[in-house]
């Protein structure tokens, strides 16, 4: 009977222990020893969570060996700093058969950035997104490929960022993270990849030329995905406009067939940057005509900032601008420009006189003639008449100047190209330019200009195909 009682008591004690009613057992009549919570396993429902603006209380799981402790009976829970982004604290204090205290923490982070949109220029990308509750700042990360390495490029306090100093017509990829603290800490998850790009540069058309029923359009390459070409017989590009899409980014020309023989055509080109679901277009080029759009030869020189002299340059250049010289025709500077008089707006400026200078009406326009002389040299046209200055000039290389004087000295050249040449002159921002244009796509043979000097004597030789075809002598 005694053995049966002892066995029954042992069984009851084992059941009580398994129910967690005691933490340790002593001999009959002794108090149990409390268990320190530091010896227990404490697990929070999550290590981090998303900010909601409300107090966040993750559930707590406490276990001692195989025994699950009961909140309120075996321990109490206290939460602090659990309403704002940052590190929240959870403090557990033992009660009953459990003693001591332990602390755990979890992070409160802003949510993911969404609602992203962009605008762009050729060098900047501006991003906007929806405000993320709890965010103190946002960090922007950039890459040149969707799956590449991302580097931080900006930290902003608002939901907008402008990234500058980018390359035109190039694709860029961004990710954005909302951060709970102003120093960028407590960052939420990165946004989805934002695929975007800069606007392509404006294309510059090199020529629009006709050959029979073909229209060839050439342009300078820019960084992009492709080009869009539009053309019409309407100068204003409003009627009968047709469009051709070029999908090769390396393309610099296209030929349109079956055009009208007797019509003048006008064309524009723009570059585009494409993504699977969007396209960013650059600006259209200036409208270019099939009439005299091929740059055949050009030369520019710098002029000094003198108001009256610059006025003379502009008047003479304006008189020449737009002049068309037919094949076999000879251009005469004096004939086209005319006599330089005050009634025509010319001002007094310094001119050479012997070894010195004096004031003279139309002073400085020899620079117009000299600039054209160099264009004519490069165009490989026949130089009919050219005179040197009595003194050295600085706006063109020595030996490559052309002096003019009404009634005695002219500058003349003959169009031997077999094509009409249109002359375009401009005087702007300290540079005077002379350009020869043709309607057909053509270039002169390669020209080499060499000037030799012996003392005060200068000899200019023009080489074409290794042979000299023009010589001019000067002495200053």
Domain boundaries, the chain: 32-109, 117-197, 205-289, 294-444
CB atoms within 10 A of CB 134: 22
Share of the chain above pLDDT 70, in %: 94
CA–CA separation, 363 vs 316, rounded Å? 11
Q: What sign results for the dihedral spanned by CA atoms 151, 157, 159, 161? A: negative
Predicted confidence (pLDDT) at residue 266 exceeds the cutoff of 70: yes
* pTM reported for the whole predicted model: 0.69
The pLDDT tens digits of the residues spanning 387-430 come to 999 999 999 999 999 999 999 999 999 999 999 999 999 999 99
Beta bridge partners of 279: 274
Confidence of residue 305 (pLDDT cuts 50, 70, 90): confident
pLDDT at 355: 82
Fold of the domain built from segment(s) 117-197: Immunoglobulin-like (2.60.40)
d(CA 251, CA 247): 8
Q: Indicate the CATH number for domain 32-109.
A: 2.60.40
* pLDDT value, residue 357: 86
**CATH number attached to the domain at 205-289:** 2.60.40.10
pLDDT reading at 86 higher than 70: yes
Residue range 150-169: mean pLDDT, rounded? 98
pLDDT of residue 465: 94
- H or E element in which residue 117 lies: strand 117-120
Q: How far apart are the first and last CA of the chain?
A: 144
**Measured between alpha carbons, how far is 381 from 360 in angstroms, rounded to an integer?**
31
Residue owning tokens 């009256």: 308
In eight-state DSSP terms, residue 123 is S
pLDDT at 453 over 90: yes
Could you list the beta-strand ranges (E) of 165-241: 171-179, 194-197, 205-211, 214-219, 226-232
Which tokens hold the place of 182?
Answer: 């102003």
* Confidence bin at 30 (pLDDT 50/70/90): low
Take residue 335 and report the two structure tokens written for it.
Answer: 């004939």
Q: Per-residue pLDDT averaged across 74-102, rounded?
A: 97
User: Comparing 32-109 with 205-289, is the CATH topology the same?
Assistant: yes
Quick one: pLDDT at residue 138? 99
pLDDT in tens, 427-443: 999 999 999 999 888 89
Position 32 scores a pLDDT of 77
- Using the predicted structure, report yes or no on whether residue 286 has a pLDDT greater than 60: yes
Across the chain, what does the average pLDDT equal?
A: 93
3-state DSSP assignment of residue 337: helix
Is the CA virtual torsion 390, 391, 397, 401 positive or negative? negative
How many CB atoms sit inside 10 A of residue 186's CB? 22
pLDDT in tens, 267-282: 999 999 999 999 999 9
Residue 28 pLDDT class (50, 70, 90 cuts): low
The Cα 353–Cα 333 span in angstroms is 21
Out of 5-14, 107-116, 310-319, 376-385, which region has the weakest mean confidence (pLDDT)?
5-14
pLDDT of residue 404: 96
**Is a pLDDT exceeding 70 seen at residue 27?**
no
3-state helix, strand, coil in the chain (%, to 5): 10, 45, 45
In the numeric block, which tokens belong to residue 236? Answer: 């204003």
pLDDT at 471 exceeding the cut of 60: yes
By the 8 A CB rule, do 203 and 222 touch?
A: yes
Using DSSP, state whether 2 is helix, strand or coil: helix
Q: Distances from the Cα of 114 to the Cαs of 151, 159, 387, in angstroms?
A: 20, 11, 73
Weakest mean pLDDT among 55-64, 153-162, 288-297 = 288-297
* pLDDT beyond 50 at 160: yes
Cα separations (Å) of 401 from 323, 338, 367, 373, 455? 22, 20, 8, 7, 18
């Amino acid at each position: 009977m005694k053995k049966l009682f002892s066995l029954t008591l042992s069984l009851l004690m084992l059941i009580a222990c398994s129910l967690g009613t005691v933490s340790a057992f002593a001999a009959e009549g002794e108090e149990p020893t409390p268990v320190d919570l530091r010896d227990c396993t404490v697990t929070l429902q999550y290590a981090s969570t998303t900010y909601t603006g409300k107090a966040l209380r993750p559930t707590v799981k406490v276990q001692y060996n195989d025994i699950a402790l009961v909140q309120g009976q075996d321990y109490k829970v206290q939460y602090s700093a659990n309403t704002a982004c940052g590190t929240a604290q959870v403090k557990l204090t033992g009660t009953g058969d459990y003693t001591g205290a332990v602390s755990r923490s979890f992070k409160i982070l802003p949510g993911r950035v969404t609602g992203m949109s962009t605008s762009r220029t050729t060098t900047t990308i501006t991003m906007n997104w929806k405000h993320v509750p709890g965010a103190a700042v946002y960090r922007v990360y950039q890459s040149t490929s969707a799956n590449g390495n991302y580097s931080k490029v900006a930290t902003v306090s608002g939901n907008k960022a402008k990234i500058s100093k980018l390359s035109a017509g190039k694709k860029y990829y961004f990710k954005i993270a909302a951060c709970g603290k102003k120093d960028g800490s407590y960052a939420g998850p990165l946004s989805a990849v934002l695929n975007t790009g800069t606007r392509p540069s404006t294309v510059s058309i090199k020529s629009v030329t006709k050959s029979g029923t073909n229209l060839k359009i050439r342009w300078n390459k820019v960084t992009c995905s492709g080009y869009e070409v539009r053309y019409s017989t309407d100068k204003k590009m409003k009627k009968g406009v047709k469009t051709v899409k070029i999908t090769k980014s390396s393309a610099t020309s296209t030929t349109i067939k079956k055009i009208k023989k007797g019509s003048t055509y006008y064309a524009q080109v723009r570059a585009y940057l494409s993504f699977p679901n969007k396209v960013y277009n650059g600006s259209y080029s200036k409208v270019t005509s099939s009439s005299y759009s091929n740059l055949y030869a050009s030369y520019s020189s710098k002029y000094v900032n003198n108001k009256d002299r610059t006025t003379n340059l502009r008047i003479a250049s304006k008189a020449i601008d737009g002049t068309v010289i037919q094949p076999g025709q000879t251009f005469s500077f004096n004939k086209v420009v005319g006599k330089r008089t005050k009634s025509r707006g010319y001002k007094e400026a310094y001119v050479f006189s012997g070894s010195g200078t004096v004031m003279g009406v139309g002073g400085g326009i020899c620079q117009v003639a000299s600039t054209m002389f160099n264009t004519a040299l490069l165009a490989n046209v026949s130089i009919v008449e050219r005179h040197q200055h009595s003194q050295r000039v600085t706006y063109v290389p020595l030996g490559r100047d052309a002096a003019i004087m009404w009634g005695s000295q002219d500058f003349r050249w003959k169009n031997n190209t077999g094509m009409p040449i249109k002359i375009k002159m401009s005087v702007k921002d300290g540079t005077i330019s002379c350009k020869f244009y043709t309607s057909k796509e053509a270039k002169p043979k390669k020209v080499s200009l060499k000037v030799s000097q012996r003392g005060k004597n200068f000899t200019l030789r023009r080489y074409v195909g290794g042979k000299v075809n023009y010589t001019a002598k000067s002495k200053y």
